[in-house]
């Protein structure tokens, strides 16, 4: 009887709670999407950094193969789908690329190709820093037959600094948003329960336990959080599809498993906020005296 009255009583505060929580969860989810996309972009940028290992001119094809076999065994070499990311670039291929990019043919000036055969190596994320790359460079240059190893200077540290700043800004924004959400939803739920404070008091007078009184309110809070999270996830999915339709390249920054995990986190967060805010508000009215209720 009491539970039926709770469901029928004034739907507008409940609608306000649901809308407020939906908007808040949508904004948190949007920050989560930006964070996941930024992390994926960071991985792609790091994977595109290559270290060049130049092989001495006098090395034979057999000696170059021996150098390759030594390089692929190194722990810092990136492995994708079981394949070490080490690519051989002949000096002829390098010369063609240089002429194509600069529109200048050094063969006409020098009469020969001064470039060297090289191996382009992609390194794992764990070694993506200027200090680590310098250590890798020194290790490679100790190998027999290697003339020189080189990479783009300051690029790794600059990428790490920029993405660290992005993550810090998003973390601060999400933290502030969570605080605002809790305060907003908590006040909204408190107002929605204000009109039912006498119902709570009546249930106490007839001997209902606190757990019995809390149960329907907490169930409603959990349901509101669940509905809000589902609507927020649907809005994010729609926004994601719209973005993909207009910018197809964004698909490369998305991981299905991570998106599903983000959805699960939003659902859990919505239910948790709904239950905790409702619990706090109900607990307040359970402890008020009759005079305080008026």
The lowest-confidence range among 83-97, 185-199, 252-266, 272-286 is 185-199
Q: Which of 109, 266, 126, 286 shows the shortest CA–CA distance to 214?
A: 286
Say whether 119 sits in a helix, a strand or coil.
strand
CA atoms within 13 A on the CB side of 142: 7
Residue 242: pLDDT above 80?
yes
pTM over 0.75: no
Q: Are 225 and 21 in contact (CB under 8 A)?
A: yes
Mean per-residue pLDDT, 129-142? 89
pLDDT at residue 47, as a whole number = 74
pLDDT at residue 7, as a whole number = 45
pLDDT at residue 144, as a whole number = 86
Residue 98: pLDDT above 80?
no
Q: Which of 264, 62, 46 shows the shortest CA–CA distance to 158?
A: 46
pLDDT tens readout for residues 165-175: 888 888 888 78
**To the nearest whole percent, how much of the chain has pLDDT over 90?**
12
Q: What are the angstrom distances between the C-alpha of 58 and each of 52, 62, 137?
A: 18, 11, 21
> Which CATH class for the 50-151 domain?
alpha beta
Q: Which phi and psi angles does 255 have, rounded to 5°?
A: -125, 120
Say whether 87 sits in a helix, a strand or coil.
strand
pLDDT at residue 227, as a whole number = 93
Average pLDDT, the chain: 80
pLDDT tens readout for residues 2-42: 444 444 445 445 777 788 888 888 988 988 888 888 888 87
pLDDT at residue 289, as a whole number = 58
Per-residue confidence at 237, pLDDT binned at 50, 70, 90?
A: very high
Give the contacts of 110 (CB within 8 A, at least 6 positions apart): none
Residue spans per domain, the chain: 2-43+158-293, 50-151
For residues 253 and 48, what is the distance between their CA atoms, to the nearest angstrom? 14
Residue 55: pLDDT above 70?
yes
Q: Are 229 and 25 in contact (CB under 8 A)?
A: yes
Q: Are 261 and 55 in contact (CB under 8 A)?
A: no
Write down how long the chain is.
294
Cα radius of gyration (the chain): 31
Q: Which of 45, 40, 12, 37 shows the shortest CA–CA distance to 236?
A: 37
User: In the beta sheet, which residues pair with residue 50?
Assistant: 122
User: In the beta sheet, which residues pair with residue 87?
Assistant: 120
Give the distance, in angstroms, between the CA of residue 51 and the centroid of all CA atoms in the same chain.
27
């Amino acid at each position: 009887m009491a539970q039926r009255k709770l469901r029928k009583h004034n739907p507008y505060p409940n609608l306000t709670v649901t809308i407020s929580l939906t908007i808040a969860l949508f904004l948190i989810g949007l920050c989560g999407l930006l964070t996941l996309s930024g992390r994926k972009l960071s991985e792609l940028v790091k994977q595109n950094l290559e270290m060049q290992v130049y092989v001495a001119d006098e090395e034979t094809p057999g000696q170059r193969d021996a150098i390759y076999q030594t390089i692929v065994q190194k722990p810092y070499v990136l492995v994708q789908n079981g394949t070490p990311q080490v690519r051989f670039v002949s000096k002829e291929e390098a010369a063609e690329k240089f002429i194509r990019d600069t529109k200048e043919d050094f063969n006409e000036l020098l009469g020969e190709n001064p470039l060297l055969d090289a191996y382009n190596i992609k390194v794992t994320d764990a070694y993506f820093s200027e200090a680590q790359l310098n250590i890798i460079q020194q290790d490679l240059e100790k190998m027999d037959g290697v003339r020189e190893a080189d990479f783009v200077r300051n690029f790794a540290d600059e990428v790490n600094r920029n993405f660290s700043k992005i993550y810090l800004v998003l973390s601060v924004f999400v933290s502030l948003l969570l605080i605002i959400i809790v305060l907003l939803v908590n006040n909204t739920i408190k107002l929605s329960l204000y009109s039912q404070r006498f119902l709570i008091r009546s249930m106490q007078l007839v001997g209902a336990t606190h757990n019995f009184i809390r149960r329907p309110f907490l169930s409603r809070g959990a349901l509101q959080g669940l509905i809000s999270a589902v609507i927020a996830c649907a809005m994010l999915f729609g926004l994601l599809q719209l973005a993909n339709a207009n910018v197809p390249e964004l698909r490369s920054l998305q991981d299905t498993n991570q998106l599903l995990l983000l959805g699960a986190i939003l659902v859990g967060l919505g239910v948790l906020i709904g239950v905790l805010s409702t619990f706090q508000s109900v607990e307040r009215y359970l402890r008020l005296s009759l005079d305080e209720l008026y």
